[in-house]
């Protein structure tokens, strides 16, 4: 297409670190689609929708490099060095990641390795699941009558446990809305931390699993019931978890549900006093 002729060229011997968005191939950026049609080899994560890979040129080689908690996964250093190896072989290398490569995607680590070895690279941002995935569930991360601040955090660190450097009291008191990646496994401890730090036990919580895909499932609960309800639901990762009054807006903004016949509420807060804590 002539349009793509005006977009950057993925040169041999270079690497593009590209975000594929939360799931729906329609959320790919034009730069991402351009990279897919040029790449000789695509090193992709587990969370990349297979439909996105259909945009690759027929001769492109696909290499899986997914890292999933609790399952055998390639080591991050090995993935980074593989990118170097492929680029040094003179290939056009696309490192395709779910969401955004710089939002809990280890893109910074991989880019630093490329710099270390003198490999030219480009960063192509993607729609992160903490924003796009929630939007597909009808939950905005900001709303003027609810919050003027939002915190994004990860539910586990490199060792697989809840990070001990998170200031739970600071987040509980200072962030009306909290969006958590990779938090489902440890939601019991996280909920207890937030309640101990002052969050209300009945504060709304939502789990959005397989966001922006046909398998998307949403569970609405409360902070005190989050662990029990998600266990009873049988839902599994990948999931985005959001804590805050914005969850109530789903009753009015669940646009996917409306397409399937759900009647949306005119007043998502049910005439409650609206909070604006930030």
Is-catalytic flag, 24?
Answer: no
* Architecture of the domain spanning 130-260: 2-Layer Sandwich (3.30)
Whole-angstrom Cα distance, residue 136 to residue 255? 8
Residues 231-254, mean pLDDT to the nearest whole number: 97
Place 67 in a pLDDT band, splitting at 50, 70 and 90.
low
Residue 277's pLDDT is 43
Q: What percent of the chain has pLDDT over 90?
A: 86
Residue 271's pLDDT is 52
Residues 103-124, mean pLDDT to the nearest whole number: 97
Place 152 in a pLDDT band, splitting at 50, 70 and 90.
very high
Asked if residue 14 lies in contact with residue 122, where contact means CB atoms within 8 angstroms, the answer is yes
Min mean pLDDT across 148-157, 242-251, 262-271 is at 262-271
Average pLDDT of the chain to the nearest whole number: 93
End-to-end CA distance of the chain: 47
Is-catalytic flag, 6?
Answer: no
Hey, which residues does 64 pair with through a beta bridge?
44
Is-catalytic flag, 67?
Answer: yes
Residues 97-124, mean pLDDT to the nearest whole number: 97
| Ordered DSSP codes for 158-200 | TTSS--TT--HHHHHHH-SEEEEES-GGGHHHHHHHHHHTT--
Whole-angstrom Cα distance, residue 195 to residue 101? 31
The pLDDT tens digits for 3-31 are 677 899 999 999 999 999 999 999 999 99
Alpha helix (H) residue ranges in 39-120: 50-53, 76-88, 107-116
Asked if residue 274 lies in contact with residue 146, where contact means CB atoms within 8 angstroms, the answer is yes
Mention every residue, 6+ apart, whose C-beta is less than 8 A from residue 146: 176, 177, 244, 245, 246, 249, 274, 275, 276
Options 45, 97, 184, 185, the catalytic residue: 45
Options 24, 40, 100, 182, the catalytic residue: 182
Residue intervals of the chain classified under CATH 3.30.950.10 are: 130-260
Residues 235-249, mean pLDDT to the nearest whole number: 97
Place 72 in a pLDDT band, splitting at 50, 70 and 90.
low
The answer, yes or no, to whether residue 264 has pLDDT greater than 80, is yes
The answer, yes or no, to whether residue 57 has pLDDT greater than 50, is yes
Residue 70's pLDDT is 57
Residues 117-146, mean pLDDT to the nearest whole number: 97
E strand or H helix at 42? strand 41-44
Place of tokens 């809990």: 104
Q: What is the CATH superfamily name and number for domain 15-127? A: Tetrapyrrole methylase, N-terminal domain (3.40.1010.10)
The answer, yes or no, to whether residue 50 has pLDDT greater than 80, is yes
Tell which phi-psi region holds residue 164, choosing left (phi > 0), alpha (psi between -120 and 50) or beta: alpha
Place 170 in a pLDDT band, splitting at 50, 70 and 90.
very high
The answer, yes or no, to whether residue 231 has pLDDT greater than 80, is yes
Residue 5's pLDDT is 77
Residue intervals of the chain classified under CATH 3.40.1010.10 are: 15-127
């Amino acid at each position: 297409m002539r349009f793509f002729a005006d977009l950057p060229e993925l040169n041999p011997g270079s690497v593009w670190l590209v975000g594929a968005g939360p799931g729906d191939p329609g959320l790919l950026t034009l730069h991402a689609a351009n990279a897919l049609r040029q790449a000789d080899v695509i090193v992709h994560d587990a969370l990349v929708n297979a439909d996105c890979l259909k945009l690759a040129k027929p001769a492109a080689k696909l290499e899986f490099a997914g890292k999933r908690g609790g399952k055998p996964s390639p080591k991050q250093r090995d993935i980074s060095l593989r990118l170097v190896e492929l680029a040094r072989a003179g290939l056009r290398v696309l490192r395709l990641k779910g969401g955004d490569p710089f939002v809990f995607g280890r893109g910074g680590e991989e880019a630093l390795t490329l710099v270390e070895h003198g490999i030219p690279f480009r960063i192509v941002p993607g729609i992160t699941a903490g924003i796009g995935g929630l939007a597909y569930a009808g939950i905005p991360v900001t709303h003027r009558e609810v919050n003027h601040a939002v915190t994004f955090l990860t539910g586990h660190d490199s060792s697989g446990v809840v990070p001990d450097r998170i200031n739970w009291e600071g987040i509980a008191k200072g962030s009306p809305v909290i969006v958590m990646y990779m938090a489902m496994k440890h939601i019991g401890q996280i909920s207890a931390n937030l309640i101990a730090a002052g969050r209300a036990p009945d504060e709304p919580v939502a789990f959005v699993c397989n966001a922006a895909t046909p398998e998307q499932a949403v569970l609405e609960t409360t902070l005190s019931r989050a662990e029990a309800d998600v266990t009873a639901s049988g839902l599994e990762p990948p999931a985005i978890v959001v804590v805050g009054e914005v969850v109530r807006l789903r009753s009015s903004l669940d646009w996917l549900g409306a397409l399937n016949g759900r009647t949306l509420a005119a007043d998502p807060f049910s005439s409650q006093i609206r909070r604006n804590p930030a």
